[in-house]
Every structure is written in structure tokens, then in C-alpha cells.
Structure 1
């Protein structure tokens, strides 16, 4: 199916203004609002729509009148899509009770959890105080008059512990849940992260998060620009050129190499960060489900290996990406 024409997207974008968006997000069960395609009888159509994403679908008779999503908003069709609850996708810390002598590896597996040098994108990484996420890619600074430095790109919640870390903290490869330990397994130091506004400190309505992103500086001899199974990044895609219907791919710590399709752009979503904290992110990309816990930090590219987004969250039905243009601009990094 072809991508939606930009002119059609522009019409929906005009309707997805702050007033309409806030009104829809205030409805019971709603977790996100974005721009995508109308789904009829389980199939994507060519009709652009204002998409309302809900934790679970309910019959209108079970909803209060103010919580019903109208069939149209200012002349634009709407759609309601069930996705479950969006959560950050760091690895779960699962303890194994079996005797180590009786344990054996179950094959096949896609997990990229072992120690690897030089480090490639796609492998387990993390701050010592979290379980594990994914090293997205190796990048360098694009600030003028500064010496060239090399960084691992990942999420704030993966290598900066959701704002709790400080610059200079060690970054381990693999992450702690995969056996990484301070000292020999340190591969970089935290260099910079974009703070995330979270409840209860900042009310959802006052938040304006657009990225969950951070970089850690490492040495050239221990870092490799290649993304495992995905190749070298060949530039990046501007926000205005990210389109619904585009096929994308990634390599991540838990699910390895996977592909998906962009289903929503310019999406505003409320993401569960655990411990009673929620963050509202604007200008996000939704894809079909292509990730699980531990894949946070993966760099998502199009089929031409151009960076499209930074994976940080998802649900049983969808995967959520930061627009790579926003990540690039805020962290002042470059891919090639």
C-alpha cells in the first residue's frame, strides 16, 4: 500500500490541534492520538484519519457520553485502535531459581546479551542501576569547534536511569541483567541526556517531552559504527518525510532483527515509566509491533538504512519511536 499523500496528512494535522487533542486525551481509556489510516474490517484503507489509541475497546453503551470518540472531528474521520498500555521497554529482571549445573541454553534465540568488543549497535547495554536496554548506534558530535568524539546513542531511561544518573557514570556492556559488572564491562561514560518530565512532579497537561534520549562517550577502538544485522547508517530522514506506510527495521537486545510498518505519525502518547510515573510525549512515531522489553534504545531505520527513529516504548500491539530529527538536534549528534 502506498504512503499517504502529504496533502492529506496536512488536513488531519490541522484538525489535530491542541484543543482537539487535549479533549480526546482526557477521555477514559485513551492513551494516544495520532495521524494515520482508517481501519475497516481489520484492514488498512487509503483514508487518512485522526487515530485515537485506547488501552482496550469498549462498547459505546459502556462509556459516559463525554468519553465517546466522535465519528468525525471538524470534518476529518476518526478511528479507535486498541493497543494496550504503552510502557518503556527496558529488560525485565527475571531471577532463575534452577541450579546452575542443570541449566542449559534453549536454542534458537535472538537475544543479543553477551559481551562484545568492539560494540555494535543492537547489543545489550545499560547504566549499572537498570536492567538492560539496547545500544542504538555509534554517533559523533556535530558541534562546530569541538574535537571529534564518539558516542553510543540510546535512551535516557537505559543509560541515564530516567534522569537519576549523572554525567560521568559508567555504562556497562552487557547490561547488569545480562551479567555486566562495573570495571571490566564498562564500555563508555554517560555524556549527556535530555531530561524527561514525569508525573507526579509535572502534571501531564504541562509536559512537553519529545525524546527519551542520551549519549555515552567511548573510545574509537571499542566502538563500531555498524548495527548488527542491519549494516551502517546512511544518513537520516527529516520529520516532514516520515510517512505512514513506510517499512522500517531495527536490531535490538531482546528480539534481534525485526521489521515493521509506520502506522501513525505526529502522535501524542502517555507512557508508563513505572513506580507511578507517567510521561506524555509529543511528535512520536507508532509502528506495528516490532519490539519487546530490552529493545529500548534501538535505532530504527528505513529499508535504505536511513535513521528514522529511536525506539523507547511500546505495547503488545505497537512500538513507539522518537523522531530522529528531534534526537539529532537536541543531542547535537551526527550519523555519517
Structure 2
């Protein structure tokens, strides 16, 4: 299918899945009123698109819906099972600080880093640890970009809250590791569909190092599918992957007790092209970019199963949607 036809097929499949969910889905398989069945577009080697259908293991009624959707479409369908998808802060189930984690298993930078640079540990004073993804300008002033669940973490967060580098889970303390304050974010609320999980912090010291392994990244693009991508994160450091689906709707992500599960639309899916995972807990907030140094998205969630090598699938917000939501530009 070409892009236009694939989008029309996707719209029909979404409607059909919702109709089926009202008939057969169990309440325990529903997140905030929507089916735990994500539908989008999967790129094919010849440049065409198949319908991407993603369903969670362990939910029989959702699996049944996925099979019926596939039977209705008939062909050009890419079906994948995923594990439970959750945010990728160091410990997304916790909001309050906890003792420093053992960082020997983290390949990325979990220690104190000055000047600040992409890929290092950072977090709100009452969150554990995530990743500093990029530097952005807002009203001409340099800020750090990461996820809402990394830099804010809770509906109780407020402008001016302390941001630490490294994050509290990596030993960051207010007395010596404050690098800025929470400045702005896109609110996440239970029961309301979302597109982005993002926030920015106003930095105490605007002198930063904006270089990535591919050099400085200042341009963005819309993911079309099939791109070879990379990221640098607090936990898994530099990893490489491939965009396996775009425009995914109903990606249900777990946010712990306070926010529950939130459904995201228009998301990008990435699988690892190496032997290990593309991302793990603590990589939330990483910037995902093409090999030519063009930004595609902001990493925020993942599963521990699925993907070509079985190490999980990663989900990212389209970068232009993130920048637009916050009113910022890449430095």
C-alpha cells in the first residue's frame, strides 16, 4: 500500500477495532476506556506500507481483536506482540527518591558531568533518574529537554522545582548537584489521550556542550519508517535501531500508581539492530536521531519483549510535536 492508502486502511482498522472492543473486550484489558491494541503503519522493504498491529501479551480478548482486524484487512499487515509498555525512567513505579542504584550495569553516564551534555543522568529532585536528551532555546534562553516523567514526574510538580544532575537515583543531591529548575511541561492526565511526554528545565549555567556522537543536531524530520537511528542514554549509552512503525495510535503506556495508564497517538516505534536492547529504564528523555544527525523523536517508553532480537520495542514522540508543544527550538 502507498502512504495514502495505508492511512485510509489504518482509519478503517481503528474504527473496526473500537467496534469489536465494545463487544468482546474485558474491562481488565482496557486502559482508560480504550483498547490495548495499537494500530499504525509499518514500512516495507519496497517503500510501501503495511498496517501495523501491536497487542500486549497476556490479554486474550485483545489478542482476539487483533486476529479479527488482521482477518478483515486480509493482507499487508505487520502484527507484533509486545510486553507491557512502560515509561523508561530508572524506576517509573517510584516518584520519591530512593538510595543510589548500583550503576555498574549502566553503560551510560550516571555520574556528575560538567558542562552538561546530551545522554547524561538528570531528574527532578523527587524522581529517580532519566536522560538529558537535548538543549533547546525558549525565548532565547538555553534549557534542558527531557520527558515530563523525568523532569516533573507528578501532577504536584510546579515551576521552580529543583532539577539535579545526576538524578537522585544516581546520587544527585540538592546541596551539590542542582543544575536548574523546572520551567515548562506538557501535562499528562489519566483518561486523556496524549501525543507527547516532555518537559524543559531552565539551567543555572547556560554554558553547555551540545555535541552528540554524530556532532551537533539542530534539524528535525518526520519519521517515514525504515530509518536507521541511534540514541545516547543514561543506561544503555549509544545504541542503534530501526524505525519499524509510524503513526501508531492507542499506544498504552504505564505510568505507575499516580497516573495509571495513558494512551498515546501518533507514536514512532523502534527496534534494536544490535544484540542488546535499544533502550532500558533510565534512557527516558533520550533524543533519537538518524545517522546523518537529524532528530526524529524523544524516547519515552518501551517494552521488555518484542522486536527482531527479542529485547523489546521502544516508543518515541515525534520531535516536531515535542518542540511545538513546548514552544522551543533545538540549540
Q: Shorter-chain TM-score: which interval?
A: 0.7 to 0.9
Query: How far 1:12 sits from its partner (Å)?
Result: 1.4
CA–CA distance in structure 2, aligned partners of residues 72 and 163 of structure 1: 42
**How does the TM-score come out when normalised to structure 2?**
0.81
**How does the TM-score come out when normalised to structure 1?**
0.80
Alignment of 1:2-81 (within 5 A): 8-17=2-11, 19-20=15-16, 22-23=18-19, 30-37=36-43, 48-56=49-57, 68-73=67-72, 77-81=76-80
Residue 41 of structure 1 is matched in structure 2 by none
Alignment of 1:278-297 (within 5 A): 278-289=261-272, 290-297=278-285
| Secondary structure in 2 matching 1:168 | coil
2:89 is equivalent to residue 90 of structure 1: yes
What is the aligned-residue RMSD (CA, Å)?
Answer: 2.9
273, 281, 296: which one pairs with 1:308?
296
2:316 is equivalent to residue 321 of structure 1: yes
Query: 1:231/1:71 Cα in 2 relative to 1: closer, same or farther (>3 Å)?
Result: same
Query: 1:91/1:109 Cα in 2 relative to 1: closer, same or farther (>3 Å)?
Result: closer
List alignment gaps of at least 5 residues for structure 2. Answer: 30-35, 273-277, 305-311
CA–CA distance in structure 2, aligned partners of residues 64 and 319 of structure 1: 21
Query: 1:174/1:14 Cα in 2 relative to 1: closer, same or farther (>3 Å)?
Result: same
CA–CA distance in structure 2, aligned partners of residues 24 and 96 of structure 1: 46
Query: 1:111/1:295 Cα in 2 relative to 1: closer, same or farther (>3 Å)?
Result: same
2:160 is equivalent to residue 175 of structure 1: no
Residue 136 of structure 1 is matched in structure 2 by 133
Asked if the contact 1:15/1:73 (under 8 Å) is kept, the reply is no
Alignment of 1:209-248 (within 5 A): 209-227=194-212, 229-237=213-221, 239=222, 242-248=223-229
Larger Rg: 1
Residue 332 of structure 1 is matched in structure 2 by 327
List alignment gaps of at least 5 residues for structure 1. Answer: 1-6, 39-43, 98-102
Q: How many residues align?
A: 300
Query: How far 1:84 sits from its partner (Å)?
Result: 0.7
Query: Residue deviations 1:131-171, cap 9 Å, x none?
Result: 10000011112xxxx4x211000000000114331011010
